Structure 1
Amino acid sequence: MRTNKRTVWFLTLLSLVAVISIYYIKEKSPMPFDGINIFKDSESAVQLVENSNDAEKTQPVFAEAVVFEEMRMQIRDERSKIGEQLLSKILTSDTAEEKNKVYEEMGQLTKRESAEALMELQIKAMGYPEAFVYNEDGAVKITVLSNEGHSSKMAEEITHYVMTSWKDAKAVNITFTGDME
């Protein structure tokens, strides 16, 4: 009987999955995977203790960070619609010249998205908890989350960095948001 290597591997993996699933179904008390107890011999070796004083010292999660995600989602939606329009132009265009032009537009859109994401990462690396960067025809709009307040020096630092590292940036507008301590 002739069998394929792919068939043998498939049957081996299928039997392995069956054995593991039967093991976990038959086990009466499954071991919780918490990353700590997995390498310990006994369950009493590590105890997690919640201290009431620590609960008062915790910092709240920034609600502004959700706003940044909403802005990113809106921009992604707009750009996906533009991408769909460009794709439909490619499908309807007859000449290679028109298709090349549309491909260049799609490449510019992708390049702009990646440059914005990279700039956000660089601003976060400068010590800010969150940043949102949006480039519209050379006008770069940056919103920075800062719980230390803001100053003209901070804005100048970000502006200088953006202007020197991003050649498509013609004008930079910076907005600071966040709780000031």
Structure 2
Amino acid sequence: MRVKKKAVWFLTLLSLAAVISVYYLSNPVTPFNGLAIFSDNSLKDTKISELASKTSKTTPVTTESHLFEEMRMELQNERSQLKETLTQKVASSQYSADEKNKYFDEIDAITKNESNEAMLEMLIRTLGYSDAFVRAEDDQIRVTVQANELSKEKANEIVYMVKKEFNEGKVVVDFQSETIN
């Protein structure tokens, strides 16, 4: 008995929709109500100190994680431009099939690299660092973590984690200070 591909896809999507429906019905999501935080009167008795009320000078508090965000954005822009160029080459008729396959493989490698970097950043944050930036290029993987100091044991732990994810390449671990500007 031969089943048509459309019927198989339809049944697959239908079963997926049923599973998702059951999940959401069994685990109701309560929406976040930001005003509920302030609904109790616990802040009513809070007083600002006289010193703070006399001085009108305000100091912005920023951390260097903005630097990490800027580095991520720059890297993402570079890679998206490279992907766009490669996509145009794949769509072009002036390249052979082998060249198009090579360009497509490069796009795939960039995408895999990006996902591995993001996963490593998340794993490094679970080690207790407030932020991390991972950049893998050529034969070098550079990891920058936000910490006051970085012990050799912690650096080795990061190197081990990176080596598990990226099997090849030289790993360099740096740290940025967590001090507030």
Identify the TM-score tier after normalising by the shorter chain.
Answer: 0.5 to 0.7
Q: Which amino acid aligns with 2:176?
A: T
Match of 1:137 in 2: 138
| Residues 165/80 of structure 1: CA separation in 2 closer, same or farther (3 Å cut) | closer
Residues 121-130 or 153-162, more deviating: 153-162
| Residues 174/90 of structure 1: CA separation in 2 closer, same or farther (3 Å cut) | same
Picking from 32, 40, 47, the partner of 1:46 is 40
Identity of aligned residues (%): 35
Normalised TM-score (structure 2): 0.66
Q: Distance in 1 between matches of 2:135 and 2:47?
A: 43
| Residues 94/150 of structure 1: CA separation in 2 closer, same or farther (3 Å cut) | closer
Matched, 1:160 2:160: yes
SS, match of residue 117 in structure 1: helix
What's the CA shift for 1:90?
1.1
Match of 1:76 in 2: 76
- 4+ runs deviating over 6 angstroms: none
Q: Distance in 2 between matches of 1:91 and 1:85?
A: 10
What's the CA shift for 1:166?
2.3
What's the CA shift for 1:176?
0.9
Across the two proteins, how many residue pairs are aligned to each other? Answer: 136
Structural mapping, 1:1-181, within 5 Å: 34-36=34-36, 46-47=40-41, 48-49=43-44, 50-52=46-48, 62-92=62-92, 93-147=94-148, 149-167=149-167, 169-179=168-178
| Residues 89/67 of structure 1: CA separation in 2 closer, same or farther (3 Å cut) | same
What's the CA shift for 1:138?
2.8
| Residues 173/111 of structure 1: CA separation in 2 closer, same or farther (3 Å cut) | same
| Residues 166/80 of structure 1: CA separation in 2 closer, same or farther (3 Å cut) | same
What's the CA shift for 1:107?
0.3
Match of 1:6 in 2: none
- CA root-mean-square deviation: 2.6
What's the CA shift for 1:87?
1.2
Q: Decide which structure has the larger Cα Rg and report it.
A: 1
Q: Distance in 2 between matches of 1:177 and 1:155?
A: 13
SS, match of residue 98 in structure 1: helix
Normalised TM-score (structure 1): 0.66
What's the CA shift for 1:51?
4.5
Q: Distance in 1 between matches of 2:108 and 2:118?
A: 15
| Residues 157/62 of structure 1: CA separation in 2 closer, same or farther (3 Å cut) | farther
Deviations along 1:44-72, whole A, 9 cap, x unmatched?
x622344547xx9xxx8552100000000
